[in-house]
Amino acid sequence: MQKLLFIIHAAPYGNESFFSGLRLALQIQEQYKSAVELKLFLMSDAVAGGLAKQNPAEGYHIQQMLEILTAQGATVKLCKTCTNARGMTDLPLAEGVQIGTLAELADWSIEADKVFNF
């Protein structure tokens, strides 16, 4: 089984970097679901994408995309330092999304066969 790590830094809305990363993760999961283990770590402004109760006026819906990924077995974690800095650590998260640490990201990076950055 190939281990893939997606590290996303971009804000969830305003440009398409975050969205592009999720699109690729969803496509890989759909095409190769039994052959890959997907992990996503959201850092910097990307942590806002892991919040619950998002209601974008139009276009893509980051929360729904993350919930699809977690429902299909992907692990999604938000950087605790980043959520603390933004006052978000105690806010409700999207279903399946958890708070993670830099130590976890270090482990995931060493264990990953491939790392994608968005």
Q: For position 42, what pLDDT does the model report?
A: 98
Pairing of strands 75-79, 114-117: unpaired
Per-residue pLDDT reduced to its tens digit, 59-97? 789 999 999 999 999 999 999 999 999 999 999 999 999
Span 24-65, pLDDT tens digits: 999 999 999 899 999 999 999 999 999 999 988 777 899 999
Residues 60, 65, 68, 70, Cα dihedral to 10°: -170
Token digits of residue 7: 């590290």
pTM: 0.94
Strands (E), the chain: 2-8, 36-42, 75-79, 97-100, 114-117
